[in-house]
Chains A and B, each alone.
Chain A
Amino acid sequence: MSETGKSINVLHYLNPFFAGIGGEECNDRGPQVEPGSRGPGRLLDQLLETRGKVVATLICGDNFVTGHESEVTAALAEAVKEYSVDLIIAGPAFSAGRYGLACGSLCQFANEQLGLPAVTAMSMENPGTEFRRKKVYILPTGESVRSMGEVMPRLMRFGVKLAQRQALGSADVEGYLPRGIRYNARVGKTAAERAVDMVLLKVRGEPYQTEIRLEAQERVTPPAPLGPLDQAVVAIVTEMGFLPHGNPDRIASSRNKVWGRYSVAGMNGVSSDQFMYIHGGYNTQDVDQDPNRGVPVDALRDMEREGRIKQLVDEVFSTCGNGGALTEMKRIGQEMAREVKRRGATAVIIPAT
């Protein structure tokens, strides 16, 4: 039953192979909607019992989805309307990569554009698992299609929970791939107690479960080397909290979310009459006294005059990075980079603390 007690109308998404239409040769086929269930959808239908029914199956070739997404999502939206769909179940895709990506993409569309609950399943190595970063619910499976009999009941139960808008526990508890969203809970043991428990497991060589999963940090490709310095147009970008007296952009000393751009046009250096620093992480006395100690405008002007650099961009791009949330700082960096580029800079100097 759905939240209102009525039977849940499920739309099942399959590729042609699983739908029993054909193999790889069918992977360029466009979307088609069939009433009722196909292939493993029949098992899904059986498992649903009185809770719901697979009212339609959307079938589309894996290759087609890439490059024709809007056609496929349009077909999905149509089918949802026509069959009064309450829930999307996609796959399971196991280790089929393009299929997994298609499943993830359609579930994201269903969540974000149609406001519909959706769930899919695939193996941990499937590239489609990246969609969990977009808050898509993905259940882990093994590699082999032979585990369908184990996976489908999990998919069905989870899908029903979603359709019934039941409160969901954490990823570990509910069995879906963690989506990177963390919430606090209070548990019976203090952190110290749990830490001592964990170190004993570790030292004894017994299995332990970390409370923060590590992930590979984003790899940033370094830009190409600078080339002749006397051709460089240099901009100063800083997180030191450099700003004019009065702090017009209200840059906060910690956990800050804004940035500013401050003109140094016509200045041979930056003066403490006009500028200061706000930052919760270091003692700003020395840079307040002589702001050039932080953002080296005076030195760069000298270099500009002497032809050692081509030009100093006449604005300083500034924020305060103390305790900065990663997403905010990333956004600020991207926004600054766009502007810096627009000013024609070919190099940046980043004084930081």
Chain B
Amino acid sequence: MNDLASHRELKLEVHEHPITEIVLGERTVLEGTRLTVNVTDLKAIAAQEDALADLDVAVARPGESVRIIHALDAVEAMTKVAGPGAVYPGFLGPAVTVGRGTTKKLTGMLVLSTTEFPDATSGGLGYRDGIIDMAGPGRPYCQASNSINLVVSYKPRSGVTNQQLDDAVRRSTLRIAQFIGQTSADLAPAKTTKYELTPVSPELPRIVYIDQIMSQTLMTRTFIYGQQLGDALPTLIHPNELMDGAIVSGNYKNLQKVATYLHCNKPLMKELYRRHGVDLNFVGMVVNRGHRDTFDLKEHGAQYSAKLAKMLGAQGAVIAFEGGGGATVDFMLTVKACEQVGIRPVAEMFEHAAAGSGEFPIVYHVPAADAIVSRGAASEMITAQKVDRVLGGSHRLCLYGGATIIEDASQSFTVATDEYWGVNWQLGESGFVAREY
């Protein structure tokens, strides 16, 4: 089953241009590992969007005493220099299949967008804030804390709706990310990696990655080739497509979310690729949407995902998900469905219960989920330190979905790790696990 035409076709060369410093200056240019950004260039890009009145730019470096709030997304600065399509297809160009040719990436940095939504809607339509600490005890718990961040803070024009602002910020940030990526166009990369799912020994175990994504409504959307996932059936995707930005995040449920840079670099995808041909055969990926509205629909998605995995010839599956309690049901049903068709599943997930609470760690499970990797328990209390700078807009931070207001986010406060940006995924990346006592 490793002989899929797409697998032969999708050969991607990724050029890495590591960034060790970002400064603001007269021209936007990359010199060695030093990126200079002209803010006027970025303003000109943002001006393409009616909904955006202005923007501010700041730089936040790992280890600095900086806290970023009101973040929407963190995006890789990259550009395609050979092969069909453009990075972030569907947004920055037509939905031509990507994952081929050559893409240049500025590594060690991200473009990070922030804004404050004009309508304070609540519930499922509410933006839920999360903290990014570049230093201090919270740092291992948040996404985007290990990169130099070019923080672009957008001011909306008055009278725009949340949706208009959200869409405009997304388009503008992706354009800026590509524009910054283009500074590397004529430069020689520090590192080149070829990504190809080559044919390998038939003895190697065939492993599929089933990735369950969150996409429900405004503020919790994820896009594939520019289209919201919505109620789409599960589908196949090649890891190279992710690397070129085929999956873009619009999810602001900030403890659960996967930022766009993380979609491009999904840890399980990267790990399977690294070991492809070594001790396994990475047969491909299935993408499904979680939080389907009824149990029947959840079962529908789960069964369909398992079927696609079987069509790829998988013997084993690693399965991960983005979402909360309800999405655990879709997820566990997928684990069960895989077992039912003879694919041995491993579930990789965070724990819903608070550390030390004595509660059962997950809200739903099936007997087939007998091989679970835990990213760690939720709700540890930590003390966020006082910081020198707060980036993102106002210093007013709404925690716990609005139940607690911190008037000045530069001060020290005690907070649950749940309030860190993208914590459910970052726990896994930071090498956490929970152990039983």
Interface residues of A (CB under 8 A from B): 135, 168, 170-173, 178-196, 198-200, 202-204, 208, 210-215, 217, 241, 250, 252-255, 277-285, 322-327
Contact A253 B401 (CB under 8 A): yes
Question: A198-B371, A215-B360, A278-B122 given as contacts; is B344 within 8 A of A203 (CB)?
Answer: yes
Contact string against A for B residues 258-272, beta-carbon threshold 8 Å, 1 for contact and 0 otherwise: 000000000110111
Extra contacts besides A198-B346, A326-B352 (10): CB < 8 Å: A180-B359, A184-B434, A193-B271, A194-B373, A195-B346, A196-B207, A202-B344, A203-B205, A278-B122, A279-B124
Contact B122 A183 (CB under 8 A): no
User: B103-111, B221-229, B312-320: which one contacts chain A?
Assistant: B312-320
Find A182's partner among B356, B370, B373 (CB 8 Å cutoff).
Answer: B356
Q: How far is the CA of A168 from the CA of B356 in the complex (A)?
A: 14
> Smallest Cβ distance from A321 to chain B, in angstroms?
9
> Smallest Cβ distance from A240 to chain B, in angstroms?
10
Contact A326 B363 (CB under 8 A): yes
User: How many B residues face the partner with a CB closer than 8 A?
Assistant: 73
User: B27-35, B91-99, B375-383: which one contacts chain A?
Assistant: B375-383
> Smallest Cβ distance from A153 to chain B, in angstroms?
22
Contact A327 B358 (CB under 8 A): yes
Could you jot down 11 A-B contacts, CB within 8 Å?
Answer: A182-B377, A184-B377, A196-B280, A202-B346, A212-B372, A250-B403, A253-B123, A254-B403, A280-B122, A280-B123, A285-B123
Prevailing SS type, chain A contact patch? loop
Q: Which 8 A-B pairs have the closest CB atoms?
A: A191-B428, A192-B267, A170-B435, A178-B436, A284-B123, A203-B316, A252-B403, A211-B374
Contact B436 A179 (CB under 8 A): yes
Q: How far is the CA of A173 from the CA of B205 in the complex (A)?
A: 31
Contact B358 A190 (CB under 8 A): no
Question: A184-B380, A185-B433 given as contacts; is B124 within 8 A of A280 (CB)?
Answer: yes
> Smallest Cβ distance from B46 to chain A, in angstroms?
29
Contact string against A for B residues 405-437, beta-carbon threshold 8 Å, 1 for contact and 0 otherwise: 000000000000010000000011111111111
Q: Is the CB of B82 closer than 8 A to any CB of chain A? A: no
Contact A200 B280 (CB under 8 A): yes
Contact B435 A182 (CB under 8 A): yes
- CB-CB < 8 A to A255: which residues of B? 379, 400-401, 418
Prevailing SS type, chain B contact patch? mixed
Q: How far is the CA of A234 from the CA of B36 in the complex (A)?
A: 68
- CB-CB < 8 A to B207: which residues of A? 196, 199-200, 203
- CB-CB < 8 A to B360: which residues of A? 180, 215, 217, 326
Contact B380 A198 (CB under 8 A): no
Question: A192-B271, A192-B348 given as contacts; is B123 within 8 A of A277 (CB)?
Answer: yes
Contact B271 A326 (CB under 8 A): no
Question: A214-B370, A283-B217 given as contacts; is B427 within 8 A of A191 (CB)?
Answer: yes
Q: How far is the CA of A241 from the CA of B402 in the complex (A)?
A: 14
Q: Is the CB of B362 closer than 8 A to any CB of chain A? A: yes
Contact B430 A186 (CB under 8 A): yes
- CB-CB < 8 A to B346: which residues of A? 195, 198-199, 202
> Smallest Cβ distance from B20 to chain A, in angstroms?
24
Q: How far is the CA of A189 from the CA of B373 in the complex (A)?
A: 11
> Smallest Cβ distance from A138 to chain B, in angstroms?
13
> Smallest Cβ distance from A201 to chain B, in angstroms?
8
- CB-CB < 8 A to B376: which residues of A? 184
- CB-CB < 8 A to B237: which residues of A? none
Q: Which residue of A lies closest to B348 (CB)?
A: A195
Q: Which residue of A lies closest to B417 (CB)?
A: A184
> Smallest Cβ distance from B302 to chain A, in angstroms?
18
Contact A168 B271 (CB under 8 A): no
Q: Is the CB of B324 closer than 8 A to any CB of chain A? A: yes
> Smallest Cβ distance from A20 to chain B, in angstroms?
36
Q: How far is the CA of A241 from the CA of B369 in the complex (A)?
A: 32
Q: Is the CB of B8 closer than 8 A to any CB of chain A? A: no
- CB-CB < 8 A to A135: which residues of B? 358
Find A187's partner among B125, B363, B433 (CB 8 Å cutoff).
Answer: B433
Contact B431 A182 (CB under 8 A): no
Q: Which residue of B lies closest to A190 (CB)?
A: B431
Q: Is the CB of B83 closer than 8 A to any CB of chain A? A: no
Q: Is the CB of B357 closer than 8 A to any CB of chain A? A: yes
- CB-CB < 8 A to B362: which residues of A? 212
Q: How far is the CA of A103 from the CA of B353 in the complex (A)?
A: 30
Contact B372 A254 (CB under 8 A): no
Question: A182-B377, A211-B374, A212-B361 given as contacts; is B403 within 8 A of A253 (CB)?
Answer: yes
Q: Which residue of B lies closest to A189 (CB)?
A: B431
Find B437's partner among A181, A189, A214, A282 (CB 8 Å cutoff).
Answer: A181
Q: Is the CB of B128 closer than 8 A to any CB of chain A? A: yes
Contact B374 A191 (CB under 8 A): yes
Contact A196 B437 (CB under 8 A): no
Contact A186 B351 (CB under 8 A): no
Q: Is the CB of B325 closer than 8 A to any CB of chain A? A: yes
> Smallest Cβ distance from B382 to chain A, in angstroms?
11
Contact A210 B371 (CB under 8 A): yes
- CB-CB < 8 A to B123: which residues of A? 241, 253, 277-285
> Smallest Cβ distance from B318 to chain A, in angstroms?
5
> Smallest Cβ distance from B239 to chain A, in angstroms?
13
Q: How far is the CA of A252 from the CA of B429 in the complex (A)?
A: 30
Q: Which residue of B lies closest to A182 (CB)?
A: B434
- CB-CB < 8 A to A190: which residues of B? 267, 271, 428-431
> Smallest Cβ distance from A251 to chain B, in angstroms?
9
Contact string against A for B residues 331-364, beta-carbon threshold 8 Å, 1 for contact and 0 otherwise: 0000000000000111010011111111111110
Find B361's partner among A182, A193, A196, A198 (CB 8 Å cutoff).
Answer: A182
Contact B373 A198 (CB under 8 A): yes
Q: Which residue of B lies closest to A257 (CB)?
A: B403
Q: How far is the CA of A183 from the CA of B434 in the complex (A)?
A: 5
A178, A185, A199, A327: residue with the most chain B Cβ atoms closer than 10 Å: A199
Q: How far is the CA of A182 from the CA of B372 in the complex (A)?
A: 15
Contact B354 A325 (CB under 8 A): yes
Q: Which residue of A lies closest to B418 (CB)?
A: A255
- CB-CB < 8 A to A182: which residues of B? 351, 353, 355-356, 361, 377, 434-437
Q: How far is the CA of A283 from the CA of B431 in the complex (A)?
A: 34
Q: Is the CB of B140 closer than 8 A to any CB of chain A? A: yes
